[in-house]
Amino acid sequence: MNAVLPIAAEVPMPIVRMQRARGIARVSFKQAAGRTRLDGLFQEGSCKVRLPRVHDGRGPMAVFINTAGGITGGDEITLEAAWGEGTRATVTSQAAERIYKRSDGAGTILNRLTVGAGADALWLPQETIVFDRAALSRRLEVDLASTARFTGVEAIVLGRTAMGEDVLATEVADHWRVRRGGRLVYADSLRLVGDTRAILSGGATGRGARAFATVLHVADDAEARVETLRDLLDGAEGVEAGVSGFDGMAVVRLIADDGRRLRTALETVIVDLSGGPVPRVWSI
The DSSP line for 113-159 is EEE-TT-EEEEEPPPEEE-TT-EEEEEEEEEE-TT-EEEEEEEEEES
Burial of 185 (0-12, 13-18, 19+ CB in 10 A): middle
- Per the domain annotation, does 226 fall within a domain? yes
pLDDT, one tens digit per residue, over 140-176 is 999 999 999 999 999 999 988 767 788 889 999 999 9
Q: What is the mean pLDDT of residues 51-57?
A: 87
- Per the domain annotation, does 207 fall within a domain? yes
User: Which residue type is seen at 246?
Assistant: F
State the Cα–Cα distance between residues 16 and 6, nearest whole angstrom: 29
> What is the model's pLDDT at position 261?
95
- Per the domain annotation, does 181 fall within a domain? no
User: Which residue type is seen at 225?
Assistant: R
pLDDT, one tens digit per residue, over 63-94 is 999 999 999 999 999 999 999 999 999 999 99
- Per the domain annotation, does 255 fall within a domain? yes
Single pTM value for the model: 0.91
Which range of residues forms the domain containing residue 229? Answer: 22-173+186-279
pLDDT of residue 227 exceeding 60: yes
- Per the domain annotation, does 28 fall within a domain? yes
- Per the domain annotation, does 121 fall within a domain? yes
State the Cα–Cα distance between residues 126 and 139, nearest whole angstrom: 16
- Per the domain annotation, does 212 fall within a domain? yes
| 161 vs 208: which has the higher pLDDT | 208
Total tally of structural domains belonging to the chain? 1
Strand partners, 152: 123, 216
Q: What is the mean pLDDT of residues 265-282?
A: 94
Residue 107 sits at φ, ψ, to 5 deg, of -80, 140
